[in-house]
A and B are shown apart, each in its own frame.
Chain A
């Protein structure tokens, strides 16, 4: 597979504030990648550099082998920005015609009309009078106007209702299967987990994790075992003796929770040489927890560094 996006040691500084700090990654054609992170993590700044709206302070950004600001490049990308602006005084259908005239190989007009999900009456209405969700759907159609190879969506589903959201992601998956590359930013953890093939986790201007949703969970989230026992102290002592500080323990009355990467090992030890335990439950760590753990540890490191 070919790389359609290449970011090399990109840094973006605004006066004293470093919004993106030495970020490097490549994106394969046909993939759906999520830029995930809390607000202010550098997702939008990264996306703005990819779109050529911001010049990196240092480092380089390449789309389809060229600079994002080149006309040739822009002819092959489509974008939906965080704030959907719609020119006043024009109808949705007129905006679609206008945007199609910007590109050398515009997408089929009927297809774009259908993408907006707007009824014939709404298409004839002043686009500025559409609701937030309708504007966003129109924004999606405008992003597709040039039949782009790469699509950028900055927080694409904010303000969309459930059915519009479902329609949006179905179409995105359909586009990816046609070989189009999709990059989107989100702070909805479930969305990144569900929709992306790959997650780039951003925090404080850096990529702190990179992998498939499953990989991110496996490497960053510890599973937990919860059970009841008459002798919690004996259990914690046994765990401490065998695993040291690798395993965190939490005791609430006679309920014990152990956080471990390999829950099998823990259970084996407890069942073979520990006190009696019952009501055993194993919990798969969720991405939100991973995310919290990550940002927390990052925070701590920075605090220590200061």
Chain B
């Protein structure tokens, strides 16, 4: 039975990865958009920044974070709602596959694809601007962006509790864009009004990108940022667990 579980998990992860790669929205939002943005904001605009190399490295991290955050909030959550409303989850419940394996397969696929996005976007940064980081910086920044995206996966799971695809679509889109803009992923928060800056410091998106920015500057992600991200992770998990139990009780 243990071997079977491993095999199911592997097949499930493979199937989920295949589905994502075939989804044109995923390619657009996770790869095309961030790379296009990166090109526009580092080559076409802001070309004569005083500290160009730092800006190019920072903005590369912002776009990688934007990509991974989007995939976690949008794709992961929406898929859960779709599969429930279309009856696919009900069908799977009649099979011997444990629901844990189903979720594990989904998360594995998401993490793999996120890793792929990070690699592609990093490569784009290197090709477009010749961004120079040490091997250790590339690796730690990449791992940070994949691993610290967990709170967003949990947020996706929370969105996944929604009953209607349309609602989930709208809510996740607003959250995604709101978090990206207010968290300083599109432009540095220094250029924003001070009240936005005060809010941003407490947002998961800012602290997520801030960790990667710190790594490119040669320092480590801040402890407070890590704690804030962890807090969001716990909060989203508890909340979605609560909503799920409540839904099952009816």
Q: Which residues of A contact B (CB under 8 A)?
A: 51-53, 71-72, 74-75, 77-79, 81, 83-90, 94, 97-99, 101-104, 126, 142, 146, 152
- Give every chain A residue within 8 A of B95 (Cβ-Cβ): 74, 99, 102-103, 146
A102 x B86 contact (CB < 8 A): no
Contact B7 A85 (CB under 8 A): no
A52-B93, A90-B19 are known; give 20 further A-B pairs, CB within 8 A: A51-B93, A52-B94, A74-B94, A74-B96, A75-B96, A78-B94, A83-B86, A83-B87, A85-B87, A85-B91, A87-B15, A89-B18, A89-B19, A98-B12, A101-B4, A101-B11, A101-B12, A103-B4, A146-B96, A152-B94
Q: Which residue of B lies closest to A103 (CB)?
A: B96
| Contact between chains at A90 and B88 (CB < 8 Å) | no
Report the minimum CB–CB distance from B249 to chain A (whole Å).
Answer: 11
Interface 0/1 of B1-31, CB less than 8 Å to A: 1001001101110010011101100000000
Known A-B contacts A81-B87, A101-B11; the reply to A88 vs B19 at CB < 8 A is yes
Judge whether B97 and A102 touch: CB under 8 Å. Answer: yes
How distant is A148 from chain B, measured CB to nearest CB, in Å?
A: 10
Evaluate contact between B91 and A104: CB separation under 8 angstroms: no
Which B residues are in CB contact (< 8 Å) with A83? 86-87
- Chain B residues with CB under 8 Å of A81's CB are 87, 90-91, 94
Q: Which residue of B lies closest to A143 (CB)?
A: B94
Chain A's nearest CB lies how many Å from the CB of B71?
A: 15
- B144 CB to closest chain A CB, in angstroms? 29
A71-B98, A79-B94, A94-B18 known; A87+B87 contact, CB < 8 A:
no
B88 interface neighbour in A79, A85, A99, A102, Cβ under 8 Å: A85
Q: In the docked arrangement, what's the CA distance between A81 and B90, Å?
A: 9
Which size bracket describes the interface of B in this complex?
20 to 34
Total inter-chain residue pairs, C-beta < 8 Å:
75
Give the distance in Å from the alpha carbon of A218 to the alpha carbon of B23 in the complex.
57
A16-B18 Cα distance, complex, nearest whole Å: 45
- On whether the beta carbons of A89 and B96 are closer than 8 Å, the reply is no
B19 touches A104 (CB 8 A): no
What is the minimal beta-carbon distance from A159 to any residue of chain B, in angstroms?
A: 15
Residues of A within 8 A of B1 (CB): 71, 104
How far is the CB of B193 from the nearest CB of chain A, in Å? 42
What B residues does A84 contact at CB under 8 A? 87
Tell me, rounded to whole Å, the shortest Cβ–Cβ distance linking A4 to chain B. 16
Q: Which among B4, B11, B88, B95 has the highest number of chain A CB atoms within 10 Å?
A: B95
When C-beta atoms are compared, the residue in chain A nearest to B101 turns out to be A102
**Scoring B residues 71 to 83 as 1 if CB is less than 8 Å from chain A, else 0, what string do you get?**
0000000000011
**Cross-interface CB contact of A90 among B4, B18, B86, B96, cutoff 8 Å:** B18
Min Cβ gap B110→A in Å is 14
Measured CB to CB, the closest approach of chain B to A104, in angstroms, equals: 6
- Known contacts A97-B11, A101-B8, A101-B11, A85 near B86 by CB under 8 Å: yes
Given A83-B87, A94-B15, A104-B1, verify A89-B22 contact (CB < 8 Å): yes
By the criterion CB–CB under 8 Å, are A53 and B19 in contact?
no
State the CA gap A85–B83 with chains docked (Å): 8
How far is it, in angstroms, between the C-alpha of A90 and the C-alpha of B87 when the chains are bound? Answer: 16
Task: Determine whether the beta carbon of B90 is less than 8 Å from that of A53.
Answer: yes
Known: A74-B96, A102-B95. A89 touches B23 (CB 8 A): yes
Question: With A85-B87, A85-B88, A89-B23 known to touch, is A98 a contact of B15 (CB < 8 Å)?
Answer: yes
24 A-B pairs within 8 Å (CB atoms) are namely A51-B94, A53-B90, A71-B1, A71-B98, A74-B94, A74-B96, A77-B94, A78-B94, A81-B87, A81-B90, A83-B86, A83-B87, A84-B87, A85-B86, A85-B88, A87-B88, A98-B11, A101-B4, A101-B11, A101-B12, A102-B95, A102-B96, A102-B97, A142-B91
Q: How far is the CA of A85 from the CA of B91 in the complex (A)?
A: 8
Known: A85-B88, A102-B8, A104-B4. A53 touches B94 (CB 8 A): yes
Write out the residue numbers on chain A whose beta carbons fall within 8 Å of the beta carbon of B90. 53, 81, 85
Cβ of A51: which chain B residues have Cβ within 8 Å of it?
Answer: 93-94
Q: Which residue of A lies closest to B26 (CB)?
A: A89
B15 lies within 8 A of A90 (CB):
yes
Nearest chain B CB to A16 CB, angstrom units? 14
Give the residues in chain B near A97, CB-CB below 8 Å.
11
**Which residue in chain B gives the minimum CB-CB distance to A14?**
B250
Q: Which residues of A contact B12 (CB under 8 A)?
A: 98, 101
Residue of A nearest to B85 (CB): A85
For the complex, what is the distance from the CA of A71 to the CA of B94, rounded to whole Å? 9
Chain A residues whose CB sits within 8 angstroms of the CB of B88 once the complex forms: 85-87
User: What are the residues of chain B within 8 A of A79 when measuring CB–CB?
Assistant: 91, 94
Roughly how many angstroms separate A53 CA and B97 CA in the complex, as a whole number?
Answer: 14
